[in-house]
Structure 1
């Protein structure tokens, strides 16, 4: 397997576990909501390739061999801002569909955070499924467990941050240090998403046609869960 330099980015839905646990009685709609959100997130990541959906997160990659440090950092910031906007626009559409269930109406607590790193990876293919492997892949996933105190942020590994120079002064950068399991002490740097893109502000109100279409999509996805739940209730 040949190693290559890659930019690694994970978009992770914050509050996902609590959301799924709280709305387990309407699991079909909760699953449909998060699926829609992740799809919009992936579609907004221009220039990045989806490697895998990992539950509540999307793991993406982009070749970094031809990018200098400033370009790698700019690629992460641009993608994060676009994905964040797409996530919240879709979240608003889910929230405003005509279904009254709490899985649909209470998505406001879902947030989107990012971790990013640049390093060496190799490709492994098993039964036509392509995966990235290597210590740098492990590192970017370990960074998901961190002490960042804000809900929506972009966390940059030290390699990516130092390689990409310093972000402009209007974007406050905060340093954190913590131990990664199996790796040891590392430094990383985070920027709040609002400091990159500005506050979201009011989301546009969806049209009645968009609300009806969103409702039909949620109902359709929820139907496949009904027989299973009835079967469980019978026991």
Structure 2
């Protein structure tokens, strides 16, 4: 049996950036599936790059699970950091989505990338790091809770869902921060969270838009075709492919 090691429990800010529409996006034929995989990887890379204050814990299919130590941060800082990084990641995602969609490939993996959306769930709690076979994972009931929050009844297309534990750190605000959402989380029980529309968050600094010239679009088309070849010929398996 592999031996595992755990670190002392610490308080952390937990954030999951989840790309909505991923399942339908990946249900397509082989060429489109290869390009969809390449495009998803680019989108997730840009999302993670837009959160320099957070550590990437793991890429989980269509989502990036991230954390940040809460030590040294005030209660207000925890909420502010969550909303600021969500705004930055959201903006980077949409800039990259326009870039990906500007190539000339007619497959669904390229033409339907504009259907993808980005949503977030965030929580603050106690976690430990467990190492098994030289791989590190965050563990604890609060890690379970933030993942359970992904299944919710929020109707806003792109949102930040703050757990009640995190939301209350903001104190009283005017207008109130977010819309209350009651959930019954498996293994956790009844909880309340608050959904904030990403479009209501202050915009971050403007990012450059894709170059619309024909040459640049051709270059992007060749790039996605080259990167998708290993998936197309079976050397690599797209994460959405049937086993």
Matches within 5 A, 1:202-213: 204-208=209-213, 209-213=215-219
How far apart are residue 190 of structure 1 and its match?
A: 0.8
Is 1:194 paired with 2:199?
Answer: yes
Partner of 1:184: 189
The answer (yes or no) to whether the contact 1:8–1:60 under 8 Å persists in 2 is yes
CA offset digits 1:4-42 (Å, max 9, x no partner) = 000000000000001101455521100001110000000
Return the structure number with greater helix share.
1
Query: 1:102 and 1:30 mapped to 2: Cα distance?
Result: 8
Is 1:82 paired with 2:98?
Answer: no
Query: 1:94 and 1:214 mapped to 2: Cα distance?
Result: 8
The answer (yes or no) to whether the contact 1:167–1:173 under 8 Å persists in 2 is no
How far apart are residue 65 of structure 1 and its match?
A: 1.6
How far apart are residue 99 of structure 1 and its match?
A: 1.8
Q: Of the candidates 94, 104, 121, which is equivalent to residue 127 of structure 2?
A: 121
> Match of 2:27, SS?
helix
Is 1:9 paired with 2:42?
Answer: no
Q: How many residues align?
A: 225
How far apart are residue 204 of structure 1 and its match?
A: 3.1
Q: TM-score, normalised by structure 2?
A: 0.87
Q: TM-score, normalised by structure 1?
A: 0.90
How far apart are residue 157 of structure 1 and its match?
A: 0.3
Partner of 1:92: 98
> Match of 1:50, SS?
strand
> Match of 1:228, SS?
coil
Query: 2:87 and 2:218 mapped to 1: Cα distance?
Result: 28
> Match of 1:147, SS?
coil
Is 1:69 paired with 2:75?
Answer: yes
User: Structure 1: which 5+ residue stretches go unaligned?
Assistant: 230-235
Which shifted more, 119-128 or 2-11?
A: 119-128
Return closer, same or farther for 1:187/1:125 CA change in 2, 3 Å cut-off. Answer: same
Q: Of the candidates 33, 45, 63, which is equivalent to residue 57 of structure 1?
A: 63
Query: 2:51 and 2:154 mapped to 1: Cα distance?
Result: 23
How far apart are residue 59 of structure 1 and its match?
A: 0.2
CA RMSD of aligned residues (A): 2.0
